[in-house]
Amino acid sequence: MGMDPHTIKELLQLQIWNRSSLLASGGAAAKSDDDSEFSGLLNSLLARQQDGQTEEGNVRNEQRTGKSMLAAAMLAGRAATSSWSHYFQSGDNADQPPAYDSTIQAASRKFGVDSALVKAVINAESSFNPNAVSRAGAKGLMQLMDGTGQAMGVADPFDPLQNIEGGTKYLSGLLRKYNGNPGAALAAYNAGPGRLDKLGIKDDRDLEAKLHLLPEETQQYVRKVMQLKHHYEA
């Protein structure tokens, strides 16, 4: 299966982040200067997408609505992750005990990702179904596209161990890119880091301000995963 330029661009970025991670020896990897070399690849596409937003009044209303909802969450006075959790109060029932817990815990320790976040992503992506396949071709528990999975060392995306390890490794790279901000990392997991780069989103504060510029699917995805994460932490 061929990969479009958007996918290729993101995988090249991931290769840079992963090399940086190996050199960091467990610490937070520095963001590669080479990221900027790829950011221009999506400029024309994203510009065309944004040209469709011709009703300036509607855009401003969406922006005010998004900011006000997120600002209300921030009034709780908690840290950024908790603020996202307060904002994302609705979502699917997460009472079902997660399967593959030992595999999730091992991958979480290996790649330095909160196990509650990994569980939340798996729940949102596949409802813990290792054989799930999306219409776009994403596969397995963490819904990896073929190119992404291969870049993460996944030979069989339907194997739970490989899929969880590959998906957690990918998520770890996104968390490093966005300096540990989970909302931004999740938005990139769903929409692709190139889209966030184009919008200048570097952390959760940027995401709060520009959430309305992302696809509705991505907005709902971040909302759902953060609510699920909050549930698994309880």
d(CA 183, CA 167) in angstroms, rounded, equals 16
What number of H helices and E strands is found in the chain?
Answer: 13, 0
Helices 182-191 + 115-126 axis angle, to 10: 30
d(CA 182, CA 201) in angstroms, rounded, equals 12
**Catalytic one among 10, 37, 55, 125?**
125
Q: What are phi and psi of 142, to 5 degrees?
A: -105, 15
Q: What are phi and psi of 91, to 5 degrees?
A: 160, 180
Q: What are phi and psi of 60, to 5 degrees?
A: -65, -40
Q: What angle do CA 220, 225, 229 make, to 5 degrees?
A: 150
Is 125 catalytic? The answer is yes
Q: Catalytic positions, please?
A: 125
